[in-house]
Amino acid sequence: MASTKRIVLIVGGGIAAYKCLDLIRRLRERGYGVRAIMTRAAHEFVTPLSVGALTNERVFTELFDLDDEREIGHIRLARDADLIIVAPATADLIAKMATGQANDLATAVLLATDKPIVVAPAMNPRMWLHPATRRNVAQIVADGATLVGPGIGEMAERGEAGPGRLAETTELIAAIEQRLASAGDGSGTTHGKPLTGRHVLVTSGPTHEPVDPVRYIANRSSGKQGHEIAAAAQRLGARVTLITGPVAIEPPGGVRIVRVITADEMLNAVHAALPADIAVFAAAVADWRMAKLASGKIKKPSSGEPPTIKLAENQDILKSIGQLPLGRPQLVIGFAAETDNLLANAQKKLKSKGADWIVANDVSTVTGVMGGDTNTVHIVSGDGVSSWPRMSKAEVAEKLMHNAATAIAAGPNARQTAAE
């Protein structure tokens, strides 16, 4: 099927532009036809000659090309593709997309197309996290674009690290193929996959908060429930970002994995992964960290008395998303792992965190939930409490994601009742 598909690649002007060469090669290997459009800034990083050699097609660069525009070239490029991918998508290019500008060939094609658009951002972390960029990204996603990445890590600039790396080629190809599959034959059907075209963000596992170079504060979370939720969302057609703390289980296939250790790293990864349609916070995040990390191993005092350690509170990840004023996911689902007063604590958490649903479960030692394969949960929403029978964690995940798909399809007013 790939051999019948044609992709237009728009190369933006960033240091990550060189990665488009590998993307072109991999797409061609899979049988896709690729046409490339390069912005003027992209010429500073890769040459049309190298891009054209790999696409085996002419590279398009100018809006006012006499030969092309005799045939309304930008319209032809916009319509003769099955999908358009922007990689790398710079902050400037995303801003132009968000405001509907069309002052060069790339933006004119993006405005003129009625085909699926995949956008792969790449920029400095501070640019990615700037409120203006967050607004622009939220707008292009609302307009129908599929966002892939960015990744988190070291940047080209010395000493710079954080969210802003171009997604890996394998991630880009997976997003392209998923979006092409969801487009189908144009009938609009999702072929039984109600989360097709949606981005689902899931946190999973524990966090480890270092005490000194050899010790840390942690909990007994295995990550099984969060990983099952990510897998269930992927089976329902979603593009999934799984942000996981240290776990001993294998991640599900077909999802984007972001590995973190501390609560602070998880918080940053969650905000970097936005926007999302659904956010599920299944991770057991440590409430506290060391107020001051010991530089060396803490030794036993000669007095025999245990050392005193001072703790500081970690920022609440669920609350930071549930009460987000701009770009909040349509459905925010939190977990309440309690040993006492389960439903009362869950209902309190629902209100204080700004969540739509809370999945409450008893994690006292007699239940065996922590690390086990089964779970008994209660879904707490503004409409009341729905108690589910004991199920495997995979069954809980499947039902939760089906209900989530129903809720966001029905709109904001249905979120409270779709948890049944």
Spatial distance between the Cα atoms of 388 and 112, rounded to a whole number of angstroms = 48
Spatial distance between the Cα atoms of 366 and 107, rounded to a whole number of angstroms = 60
| Residue range 288-339, pLDDT digits in tens | 888 888 888 888 877 778 888 889 999 999 999 999 988 899 999 999 887 7
**124, 219, 268, 361: which one is catalytic?**
219
Question: Is the domain of 224 the same as that of 284?
Answer: yes
Question: Is the domain of 275 the same as that of 384?
Answer: yes
Last residue of a domain, one of 128, 150, 183: 183
Question: Is the domain of 215 the same as that of 351?
Answer: yes
Question: Is the domain of 400 the same as that of 287?
Answer: yes
How many separate domains does the chain show? 2
Question: Is the domain of 164 the same as that of 104?
Answer: yes
- Output the pLDDT for position 292: 84
- Output the pLDDT for position 156: 66
Question: Is the domain of 289 the same as that of 352?
Answer: yes
Question: Is the domain of 235 the same as that of 166?
Answer: no
- Output the pLDDT for position 190: 43
Last residue of a domain, one of 150, 183, 216: 183
Tell me, yes or no, whether 344 lies in a domain: yes
Question: Is the domain of 8 the same as that of 65?
Answer: yes
Tell me, yes or no, whether 192 lies in a domain: no
Tell me, yes or no, whether 190 lies in a domain: no
Tell me, yes or no, whether 349 lies in a domain: yes
Q: Is 136 a catalytic residue?
A: no
CATH code for the domain in which residue 407 is found: 3.40.50.10300
Spatial distance between the Cα atoms of 246 and 204, rounded to a whole number of angstroms = 9
H or E element, residue 409: helix 393-410
Domain range spanning residue 395? 199-414
Name residues of the chain where pLDDT drops below 50.
1-2, 66, 69-72, 185-191, 414
CATH code for the domain in which residue 166 is found: 3.40.50.1950
Question: Is the domain of 165 the same as that of 216?
Answer: no
Question: Is the domain of 405 the same as that of 293?
Answer: yes
Tell me, yes or no, whether 10 lies in a domain: yes
Spatial distance between the Cα atoms of 74 and 151, rounded to a whole number of angstroms = 31
CB 35 within 8 Å of CB 9 = yes
Spatial distance between the Cα atoms of 346 and 379, rounded to a whole number of angstroms = 9
- Output the pLDDT for position 333: 96
| Strand partners of residue 240 | 200
Task: Give whole-number Cα distances, 234 to 176, 240, 389, 417, in Å.
Answer: 15, 6, 24, 23
CB 288 within 8 Å of CB 311 = yes
Last residue of a domain, one of 155, 183, 211: 183
Question: Is the domain of 156 the same as that of 204?
Answer: no
What SS3 class is residue 316?
coil
Question: Is the domain of 156 the same as that of 296?
Answer: no
CB 376 within 8 Å of CB 367 = yes
